[in-house]
Structure 1
Amino acid sequence: MMRGTGLVNRLAMLIVAVGAAMVPFASLHAEDGYDLWLRQAPLSAAEAQAARPYLGRGVQVLAAMSPTVQLAVDELGQAGAGMTGLEPSTHPALVLARADRLESGGYPKDPRLAGAPPGSYSIRAVHSGRILITANDDLGLLYGAFALVRHVGATGTVADAEAFSAPAMPLRMLNHWDNPDGHVERGYAGRSIFDWWHLPEKLDPRMIDYARANASVGINAVVVNNVNARAFMLESRYIAKLKRLADAWRPYGIRVFLSARFSAPKDIGGLATADPIDAAVAAWWRAKADEIYAAIPDFGGFLVKANSEGQPGPQDYGRTHAEGANMLAAALGDRGTVVWRAFVYRAEDDTDRTMQAYAEFQPLDGQFASNVILQVKNGPLDFQPREPFHPLFGALPRTKVMLEAQITREYLGQATGIVYLAPLWKEVLEADTGRGGTVAQIVSPVGMTGVANIGADRNWTGTHFDQANWYAFGRLAWDPTLTSEQIAREWTALTFTRAPGPRDGIVRMMLTSRETLVKYTGPLGLAHLMATGHHYGPGPWVCDLERADWNPCYYHRADRRGIGFDRTATGSDALAQYAPSIAARWSDPATTDPRHLLWFHHLPWDHRMASGRTLWEELVNAYGWGVLEAQARQQGWTSLTPHIDPERHAAVAADLAIQLTEARWWRDASLSFWQSLHGLPLPVGAAPIPERLEAYKARTFPEAPGQ
């Protein structure tokens, strides 16, 4: 793809059509991003006057004043002060009411709440111009308060605030890959926010701000430690620390979960074995669960990574995943849940790595206890910028299955530029499995978890736009029918500006950002092409690592003749793990989604694409467009200077400059390597590659996060 200033400028105009929004630069003040989407920017004078009766501490409450209800009242009061700048109205027009107390106030019931799941709420306009927030439980009132404030913050008005909302998924969980020493695995926003050293005596106030942010988007569970768990976090001294967190988060509706190391009975329990069928092992886990529940009555349960990447598990003793999970489930009983990760691959398995989870878990369908959930990644490999949906979705009709997504951008540029992930998750959620519905329909009865992108950086997520991914995860776990655009529009209005021109321009930047990254890192279904160790930058030439499936060359299979991984019947036959209707469509390159073409097919470089270009020409074109779009996004953000506060504008501008450099690096290094295999020239008009392949291979980054 040719680089051209005129074309880039036109792209920038398409990405950010600012319009004539009237936000004078002088009125903007510096912001550091700490307030997230809860910054509650002031309304205009007319908007503030109209909203004043509905936002404030003068709300009428028809419910017992529990800590959770008090939080709802406080949230409305804080919004009133921040958004209107006015004292609460002496004639409040907002009512917070438990459904069982409505009649005492003379208000009608909302029949939609009958039988609704916990946390559901309704917002209705009733007589005398009042707005009524109703729920069956206190947490629903808090969620309803957040929803009203969100609506006003995003639109500037209480008009059209009426809504009924029920969570689609009962478990909406963040999974922190945080270690007790403060290091965060695959974390790009600084150190861990959990101060285990000072707990339980000292609770960092940030823990409350964190809980508030989670509750505002409906997140109701948090795994506080890395899936590569330390056994000592099950010791009594850590249970006391967990209790302090659980007590602080309980009013926000957040339950604490803990990653548990399967070998803990040996590591800290003094036993000679961790065999799940050993009576002493089962008794140790029961006693440990009893100890935890004595301190934390609403403890959520255990998350377990077993027999994957060297972690201990039941297979160490010749037992199945079901036997291991069920032993822990029996220890918890009906008090909690075992979440068992399906991300497994073993060194001694020489089959296609993407097939291993299905091969291990599908035969166990129906063997897991009722309080066991199987946690399945969105794709069969490992959180790549694009993967087809995991074949286990729909293949386990007698097992509870939840979706595991990654909010932290491990393989998506880490913490640079803008990469909005809602389109990635929507792509998976809306995928038809061919086995009883979409992924969303299959996981909604259970839940969704996201690997957190939160750290000790002042803005929480490393870059300001990565806040949108935390926000989008919560909103989609609550309601997977929301569109990426709806969520982006909401978040942008709450976080940056309600002015239509700049807001819409930012939304367009967000919606195309993930696809841009795919173009310059792994177009047409290529995946796992990053350098080794830190998962940062291109390394398609890496082919000498200890395990075959750690090497990029394992996945692209490129040689002089062609490129791609044959997963049809003539190759690994991974397609056989999908429903027949899906496998039939994807077995033919002509009917395979072009976005997954090289994931499933090894094709010659001169394979003719639907565009009329050869496969090689199509790849060059895709890489080039990725660079052009990154450049246009940078220029588009520059045009927003008058509409964004200087501190955040400068920070994002710096991130986008890094992203453009990375896009060019990925494009040039990747094309240089592919050329070294086949010797074909770049198509006419394509930008030349500025360095020799050896120079790209020689780059090292010992200081890179995750190294």
Structure 2
Amino acid sequence: MKTSIFSLFFILICIGLHAEDGHKLWLRAQSTSTVNVECSKQSPIIEIAKIELQNMWQGKAGHTVVLKLAKTKKLQGDGFLLSENQIESNTEAGLLYGAFEMLRKQQTQSSDFNGIFNPSYDLRILNHWDNLDGTIERGYAGQSIFWHPGSEAFKVTQEDKKRWTEYARANASIGINGTVLNNVNASPKILTPEYLNRVREIADILRPYGIQTYLAVNFASPSVIGGLSTSDPLNQEVVAWWKNKVNEIYKLIPDFGGFLVKANSEGQPGPQNFGRTHADGANMMADALKAQGGIVMWRAFVYNPSDEDRAKQAYSEFMPLDGTFSDNVIVQVKNGPIDFQPREPFSPLFGAMKGTGVMPEFQITQEYLGHSVHMVFLATMWEEVLNSDTFQEGKGSTVARCTDGSIFKQKYSAIAGVSNVGSDINWCGHHFAQANWYAFGRLAWDNTLTSEQIADEWVKLTFGKVSNTEDDADFVKAIKELMLDSREAAVDYMMPLGLHHIFAAHHHYGPGPWWAPSGMRKDWTPPYYHRADSLGIGFNRTTSGSNAVSQYHQPLSQQFNDPETCPEKYLLWFHHLPWDYKMKSGRTLWDELCFHYDSGVQKVRGFQKIWDKSESYVDTERFAAVQKKLREQSLNAQEWKDACLLYFQQFNQLPIPYDLERPVNKLEDLIEKDEKQIREGRRN
């Protein structure tokens, strides 16, 4: 059943007004005057564009805005041409994006109204790691908004439709045009009729907002739910099963986007179970989808229990397959070679796979950055990655240009973000975590935006103006600077100078550099990554070590290989260095680590002071909620500093510089706390 224009309007009206609990996200503005919106064509998408302009108009009273569908060569995809009087696009979705851009410029008091706005990526997709029982893997904002457990699994309520509509509206406002509804660790049941019918209901709500629906699928589905004896991608019965399943899906969802696949990774089945390659598996699925215009997003997050450096394994597996994938296959690559760490060098697959569609995968949910407790604005991380120069086609071959079609003319350009959305009233668990959802959408639309531009927009849209005084500008400036400093602060109090993956077991929240139970895979334990001993610390990935540096193009491989030229932010990622190694600051490596850890703690304490000063500019409910989170973050930062420095001190027996604050926790108490959390299953 298609959603009518009147039903959409009714749902929009019934969204209702909430207290300042964050539920309205960055879409809090209400019209201050009337506007006339004209368009020669009618459709659900165009009707929504009209409603949004009328409901949030901040411009001149009685002004007329014309929505115009045209065939303008300067416009690409869902791009639009914006002026004060007109929004022009080649697509209906482009008119909706243009409407939101016009409103954004009004609300942020931007004077730059005229111009062409083309998207950097064709496909701008959220990946939801939502399980069919309603839980969310690595989600920290409540239950799934798509799936419910038990007897409620297939019942679609008006509350469901309302939430899906609000979700679709938020995505459309920042240009996101695709959603994967379920976890990459996919249950085969997602392809059964009962679940596909629910997917159809969700797709009907998302469609009028320009959002395509995708599903993560389990590679073994033909044998698990299809009654076949194998899931071998070269078996003709398996090929036929997938084609029939695809046809079944498209009858329900004519604009279905395609499949996301995690295969032969962390226990998930894949083509290698049958002696086939990733290309064999991906191409078989791609062939089934091609006639309908669907795509396969095949994740490159793979690693096996072996002696090879885990940071090298994705490159080792996928580079030999470059050029063998179908043109409707996109290899989805995490921003770094390990796993969404607070800081990593970019994955060497970016730019190296010249004959294959490649898309970046960012993590919006803060699995390794304090969950929904810590304030960490991730745009600075993503900007750092996108602007990193791969040198694959000479200077200026940034990750952004290698993936958005500027350099390699792949059939589809795409980018994905692992969603932080859940059923919490404020959607993301932390009011400032909403900024990461917003930032992903904005960067997916325009990968040249700066973190400062995005933060400025978000603060103004989310907290609004109190008055027309200079004090408001001071508030925006202070909160914006806090956000821009927050990721570097987290790196400092967690894992500075290239340290990585030294989290406590399982929950990836607190510190655990000591965790290495007997019998555990080495690459699942922190000592595998920090390699601390009496001589020094760090992972030797140079030519004398694992030689991961060789996967990067010159001059990077040479630069990373020499500790004197390696950027200090990656120093211990690529080098095992003595504790007394002389840093550029003149300090020893040990003292530099101590100063970074202490700096991170001091920065978070500074965030508390900045936020407390903002009390008169923020509503009581959100002010208190953020204040509480910052208090816990400050305590956590102290634990990170104390745990890591006291643990590493066991190896080097060196004093913490006397001009820094002393640890306030005992190492044995922190270890016991971590072990207790593991026993109780907390923060999983």
What is the Cα deviation at residue 692 of structure 1?
2.8
What is the Cα deviation at residue 188 of structure 1?
0.5
Q: Given the alignment, which residue of 431, 438, 451 partners 1:471?
A: 438
* Inter-partner Cα distance in structure 2 for 1:519 and 1:619: 9
Q: Which amino acid aligns with 2:22?
A: G
Q: Given the alignment, which residue of 531, 536, 542 partners 2:509?
A: 536
What is the Cα deviation at residue 350 of structure 1?
1.8
Q: Which amino acid aligns with 1:495?
A: T
What is the Cα deviation at residue 119 of structure 1?
1.3
Q: Is the 8 A contact 2:452 2:480 kept in 1?
A: yes
* Inter-partner Cα distance in structure 2 for 1:618 and 1:239: 55
Q: Is the 8 A contact 1:172 1:447 kept in 2?
A: yes
Q: Which amino acid aligns with 1:34?
A: H
SS of match in other structure, 1:405: strand
Q: Residue 134 of structure 1 corresponds to which residue in structure 2?
A: 88
Q: Which amino acid aligns with 1:60?
A: E
What is the Cα deviation at residue 136 of structure 1?
1.4
What is the Cα deviation at residue 691 of structure 1?
3.1
Q: Residue 508 of structure 1 corresponds to which residue in structure 2?
A: 481
Q: Residue 441 of structure 1 corresponds to which residue in structure 2?
A: 401
Runs of 4+ in 1 over 6 A off after TM superposition: none
Q: Which amino acid aligns with 2:86?
A: L
Residue 64 of structure 2 corresponds to residue 93 of structure 1 = yes
Q: Given the alignment, which residue of 344, 355, 360 partners 2:317?
A: 360
* Inter-partner Cα distance in structure 1 for 2:440 and 2:681: 26
What is the Cα deviation at residue 333 of structure 1?
1.6
What is the Cα deviation at residue 395 of structure 1?
1.0
Q: Residue 451 of structure 2 corresponds to which residue in structure 1?
A: 484
Q: Is the 8 A contact 1:334 1:371 kept in 2?
A: no
Q: Given the alignment, which residue of 177, 180, 191 partners 1:234?
A: 191
SS of match in other structure, 1:119: coil
Q: Is the 8 A contact 1:417 1:652 kept in 2?
A: no
Q: Is the 8 A contact 2:550 2:557 kept in 1?
A: yes
Q: Residue 258 of structure 2 corresponds to which residue in structure 1?
A: 301
Residue 571 of structure 2 corresponds to residue 616 of structure 1 = no
- TM-score normalised by the chain length of structure 1: 0.89
SS of match in other structure, 1:402: strand
Q: Which amino acid aligns with 2:443?
A: L
Q: Which amino acid aligns with 2:618?
A: I
SS of match in other structure, 1:60: strand
Q: Residue 202 of structure 1 corresponds to which residue in structure 2?
A: 157
Q: Is the 8 A contact 1:189 1:461 kept in 2?
A: yes
Structure 2 gaps, min length 5: 1-17, 406-412, 466-471
What is the Cα deviation at residue 41 of structure 1?
5.6
Q: Given the alignment, which residue of 123, 134, 145 partners 2:82?
A: 123
Residue 444 of structure 2 corresponds to residue 459 of structure 1 = no
Q: Residue 107 of structure 1 corresponds to which residue in structure 2?
A: none
Q: Given the alignment, which residue of 122, 145, 151 partners 1:193?
A: 145
Residue 201 of structure 2 corresponds to residue 244 of structure 1 = yes
Residue 571 of structure 2 corresponds to residue 597 of structure 1 = yes
SS of match in other structure, 1:384: coil
SS of match in other structure, 1:626: helix
- TM-score normalised by the chain length of structure 2: 0.92
Q: Which amino acid aligns with 1:403?
A: P
Q: Is the 8 A contact 1:568 1:574 kept in 2?
A: yes
Q: Residue 24 of structure 2 corresponds to which residue in structure 1?
A: 35
What is the Cα deviation at residue 511 of structure 1?
0.3
What is the Cα deviation at residue 66 of structure 1?
0.6
Structure 1 gaps, min length 5: 1-28, 43-47, 101-112, 126-130
* Inter-partner Cα distance in structure 1 for 2:30 and 2:605: 30
Q: Which amino acid aligns with 1:120?
A: G
What is the Cα deviation at residue 200 of structure 1?
6.0
Q: Is the 8 A contact 1:187 1:706 kept in 2?
A: no
Q: Given the alignment, which residue of 104, 120, 143 partners 1:150?
A: 104
Residue 614 of structure 2 corresponds to residue 625 of structure 1 = no
Q: Give the alignment of 1:567-586 within 5 angstroms.
A: 567-586=541-560
Larger mean CA deviation between 454-463 and 697-706 belongs to 697-706
* Inter-partner Cα distance in structure 2 for 1:417 and 1:698: 22
* Inter-partner Cα distance in structure 2 for 1:704 and 1:214: 33
Residue 134 of structure 2 corresponds to residue 161 of structure 1 = no
Larger mean CA deviation between 580-589 and 303-312 belongs to 580-589
SS of match in other structure, 1:218: coil
* Inter-partner Cα distance in structure 1 for 2:117 and 2:154: 36
* Inter-partner Cα distance in structure 2 for 1:115 and 1:625: 48
Q: What do residues 321-355 of structure 1 show as CA deviations (whole Å, max 9, x unaligned)?
A: 000101111111232001000000112x2210010
* Inter-partner Cα distance in structure 2 for 1:540 and 1:160: 49
Q: Give the alignment of 1:368-379 within 5 angstroms.
A: 368-379=325-336
Q: Is the 8 A contact 2:639 2:665 kept in 1?
A: no
* Inter-partner Cα distance in structure 1 for 2:665 and 2:455: 38
Q: Which amino acid aligns with 1:519?
A: D
* Inter-partner Cα distance in structure 1 for 2:80 and 2:664: 58
What is the Cα deviation at residue 550 of structure 1?
0.4
Q: Which amino acid aligns with 2:69?
A: R
* Inter-partner Cα distance in structure 2 for 1:682 and 1:76: 58
Q: Given the alignment, which residue of 170, 177, 200 partners 2:122?
A: 170
* Inter-partner Cα distance in structure 2 for 1:704 and 1:163: 52
SS of match in other structure, 2:596: helix
* Inter-partner Cα distance in structure 2 for 1:645 and 1:579: 51
Q: Which amino acid aligns with 2:536?
A: G
What is the Cα deviation at residue 527 of structure 1?
0.4
Q: What do residues 604-652 of structure 1 show as CA deviations (whole Å, max 9, x unaligned)?
A: 0000001000000000000000000000000110000111111000000
Q: What do residues 549-598 of structure 1 show as CA deviations (whole Å, max 9, x unaligned)?
A: 00000000000110000000111001111112110111110100000000
Q: Which amino acid aligns with 1:678?
A: N
What is the Cα deviation at residue 93 of structure 1?
2.4
Q: Is the 8 A contact 1:176 1:225 kept in 2?
A: yes
What is the Cα deviation at residue 122 of structure 1?
1.2
Q: Given the alignment, which residue of 53, 63, 70 partners 2:47?
A: 70
SS of match in other structure, 1:37: coil
Q: Is the 8 A contact 1:98 1:138 kept in 2?
A: yes
Q: Give the alignment of 1:378-397 within 5 angstroms.
A: 378-397=335-354
Higher relative contact order (CA 8 A, sep 6+): 1
Q: Residue 37 of structure 2 corresponds to which residue in structure 1?
A: 59
Number of residue pairs the alignment of both structures matches:
641
CA pair 267-467 structure 1, distance change in 2 beyond 3 A:
same
What is the Cα deviation at residue 690 of structure 1?
2.4
Q: Residue 607 of structure 1 corresponds to which residue in structure 2?
A: 581
Q: Residue 170 of structure 2 corresponds to which residue in structure 1?
A: 213
* Inter-partner Cα distance in structure 1 for 2:197 and 2:373: 37
* Inter-partner Cα distance in structure 2 for 1:237 and 1:297: 18
Q: Residue 132 of structure 2 corresponds to which residue in structure 1?
A: 180
Q: Which amino acid aligns with 2:426?
A: N
SS of match in other structure, 1:233: helix
Q: What do residues 440-471 of structure 1 show as CA deviations (whole Å, max 9, x unaligned)?
A: 00111311100000000000000000000000
* Inter-partner Cα distance in structure 2 for 1:198 and 1:572: 48
Q: What do residues 88-130 of structure 1 show as CA deviations (whole Å, max 9, x unaligned)?
A: 95x4322222226xxxxxxxxxxxx3252221111124xxxxx
Q: Is the 8 A contact 1:607 1:615 kept in 2?
A: yes
CA pair 209-318 structure 1, distance change in 2 beyond 3 A:
same
Larger mean CA deviation between 321-330 and 692-701 belongs to 692-701
SS of match in other structure, 1:575: helix
CA pair 706-360 structure 1, distance change in 2 beyond 3 A:
farther
Q: Residue 238 of structure 2 corresponds to which residue in structure 1?
A: 281
CA pair 704-687 structure 1, distance change in 2 beyond 3 A:
farther
User: What is the root-mean-square deviation of aligned Cα atoms in Å?
Assistant: 1.5
* Inter-partner Cα distance in structure 2 for 1:631 and 1:704: 29
CA pair 481-517 structure 1, distance change in 2 beyond 3 A:
same
* Inter-partner Cα distance in structure 1 for 2:374 and 2:342: 15
